[in-house]
Amino acid sequence: MIKNIGLFDSGVGGLTVAKELMRAFPWLNIFYFGDTARLPYGNKSPRTITAYSKEIASFLLGKNVEMLVVACNTSSSIALGELERELPVPVVGMIKPGAKSAAERSESGRIGLIGTRATVASGAYEKEIRALNPSATVFSKACPLFVPLVEEGFAEDPVAEMVAARYLAPVLENGPDTLILGCTHYPMLIPVLRKAAPGVSLVSSGEATTEYLMEEHGFPRGKGPDEKGFLEIFVTDGGTHFKEVAEALLGKKIELEEVSLERLVTG
């Protein structure tokens, strides 16, 4: 049974996935990496996103992880293929779990997607959803302001409500019954997203990934080893709001280890 897992994201958002995994699989040892010095990823080129993802994957492999979870939709949509080919451990991204959950939930086949510019431009979610349901229609919208709002601690501020209403309006005009939160930062915006999209089922990466690990990788449902796992967190810049936002999300105090970009790049 897999015990040590590496997770990474551009910042604090991937902790929404880590939180769900800790709840479902409390025996896991999770090594989390937030690339806070270089976020956001969503406005960067595919070449840059892939290079960053490989550097972080190499660092996490040095922690003897047995699986890598790419807890970043942008990296999942751009770099997952290369990571799967090059790494000696199983690699799980966010696209397949989220697409599967949305395709199963949607009764109308009309599915909304919000994400970073890179995720939306990649078409990765549309490809996966149509493989599962060829008649499905996906309505996508890039929401580049959401990540900095979360990283700055404004997830439930009135400004987040205004931005959410503005972003979601063109998606909701198409009448989706399901909305994919195509960025791991977005679950922290669920209260304002529910106000903006009442009655629409929201698909978050953390919940979808938990189900995916159970169904596709044999993670035990509701049982496992008795020993308690742990969470170790690494960041490339500790001078951000990461610690404050992460502690609010996880509901406990955390310690961070800062990894310099020089150390990350050179190994």
Q: Map out the domains of the chain with their CATH numbers.
A: 4-93+209-266 (3.40.50.1860), 95-205 (3.40.50.1860)
Q: Distance (Å, rounded) from C-alpha 61 to C-alpha 82? A: 15
List pLDDT tens digits, range 213-224: 999 999 997 667
pLDDT digits (tens, 9 = 90+) for 171-199: 999 999 999 999 999 999 999 999 999 99
Q: Which of 24, 72, 87, 192 is catalytic?
A: 72
Percent of the chain with pLDDT over 70: 99
- pLDDT of amino acid 133: 96
Predicted local confidence at residue 241, as pLDDT: 85
Q: Which two tokens stand for residue 194?
A: 């529910």
Q: Per residue, what are the HEC states of 60-79? A: HHCCCCCEEEECCHHHHHHH
Query: Which pLDDT belongs to residue 266?
Result: 82
The model's pTM is 0.94
**In the block, which residue shows the tokens 């492999």?**
61
Distance CA 18, CA 5 (A): 10
Note if 143 is an active site residue: no
pLDDT value, residue 114? 98
Tens digits of residue pLDDT in 10-56: 999 999 999 999 999 999 999 999 999 999 999 999 999 999 999 99
